[in-house]
Amino acid sequence: MNIKAVIFDLDGTITEPFLNFDRIREEIGLPADTGPLLEVMERMNPAERKKAEKILYKYEQAAIEHSTLNKGAAQTLKRLSQMKIHIGVLTRNTRSNASAVAKKHNIKFDAIVDRDDGPVKPDPFGVKRLCEHFKVKPQQTLVVGDYLFDLQCAKAAGAIAVLMKNNEKSEQFSRFADFTIDSLTKIIDIINKI
């Protein structure tokens, strides 16, 4: 077995998709096509940013409260732990929100890298940081996510990109993935194959 770590995205991967970024942009007062929300917020003046952060926080809290695990998430995390494979979370959300999701669903992550730790996905920073933390090479690491940024940061870091197909938009990202799955339980099959 060559895989030593699995790094997961949070919303849409471990949990079922909940955050509607078009609705969040709309409430902030941004056009739907303004680009990735965190990057747009970085360019705001302090007053605009404070307002945007408050709105984003409200939606992120609702996402925790209403979160449900994706099918097979709990059993996959448990199996990875039994296999002594490190479990990381790389999220554009916050560490406290990721921890709250874990607590709510009684699941465990070995390490979390969030938006406050450094450059966010699609930058490879988070993958590299988790690999260093786990003392594994990116080539020994699966990065599992439901969006293009997850796959891009995996590839840029030299890790194996796994697309979690959970909606109609997922198909457009499949060409960037090394593997495509529709259930987290299939991660175990990939690990056994590699």
pLDDT tops 70 at residue 145: yes
Task: Calculate the average pLDDT of the chain.
Answer: 94
Question: What pLDDT is recorded for position 72?
Answer: 94
Distance CA 136, CA 115 (A): 22
Question: What pLDDT is recorded for position 32?
Answer: 80
Question: What pLDDT is recorded for position 1?
Answer: 56
Which pairs count as long-range contacts for 171-180, CB under 8 Å and 24+ apart, including other chains?
A: 173/147, 173/148, 176/148, 176/151, 176/152, 177/151, 179/142
Question: What pLDDT is recorded for position 184?
Answer: 96
Question: What pLDDT is recorded for position 156?
Answer: 98
Tokens of 147: 């969006």
Q: Are 142 and 187 in contact (CB under 8 A)?
A: yes
Q: Are 194 and 2 in contact (CB under 8 A)?
A: yes
Phi, psi of 57 (to 5 degrees): -60, -45
- The total number of residues written for the chain in this structure: 194
pLDDT tens-digit series, residues 32-74? 888 888 889 989 999 999 999 999 999 999 988 999 999 999 9
- Closest-CA residue to 146 (of 166, 120, 175, 176): 166
- Closest-CA residue to 29 (of 41, 19, 39, 17): 41
Q: Please report the domains of the chain, with CATH numbers, ordered by start residue.
A: 5-16+68-193 (3.40.50.1000), 21-65 (no CATH)
Query: Percent of the chain, pLDDT > 70?
Result: 99
Model confidence at 170, pLDDT cuts 50, 70, 90, reads confident
pLDDT tops 60 at residue 125: yes
Dihedral class, residue 39 (left if φ above 0, else alpha if ψ from -120 to 50, else beta)? alpha
Model confidence at 114, pLDDT cuts 50, 70, 90, reads very high
pLDDT tops 90 at residue 173: yes
Query: Percent of the chain, pLDDT > 90?
Result: 82
